[in-house]
Amino acid sequence: MYDPKGKAFWLGRLAGHQSYVEETTWYSEGGEENYGGGFWKYSKRFKELTLEGPYGAEDLLIKVSSRLAFSTSGYNWPAARIANLVPA
């Protein structure tokens, strides 16, 4: 990500987001007490953005790597070469 005002680059990463499922109790028709929740789970919808920087253009290198083809029900990504900015 480039910041034109500061003339600097920020490196961003998306990571999984965890949310806590509150513990609950309830009674079944037979009077038996049941428990649920009380654990952390990864969200299917949300991600956490972490920014690292700022870096000047002279402080970054271009790393080229290959990506394999990947398909889902709605998208197709062909195999390709990709470039990432990494700190020098």
Q: Which residues of 10-45 are buried (b: 16+ CB within 10 A; e: fewer)?
A: ebeeeeeeeeeeeeeeeeeeeeeeeeeeeeeeeeee
Query: What residues have CB less than 8 Å from 6, skipping those under 6 apart?
Result: 54
C-alpha to C-alpha distance for 21 and 18, rounded to whole angstroms = 10
Return the structure tokens found at 44. 């299917």
pLDDT in tens, the chain (88 residues): 899 999 999 999 999 999 999 999 999 999 999 999 999 999 999 999 999 999 999 999 999 999 999 999 999 999 999 999 999 9
| Domain extent for 54 | 1-87
Question: What domain count does the chain have?
Answer: 1
C-alpha to C-alpha distance for 44 and 17, rounded to whole angstroms = 8
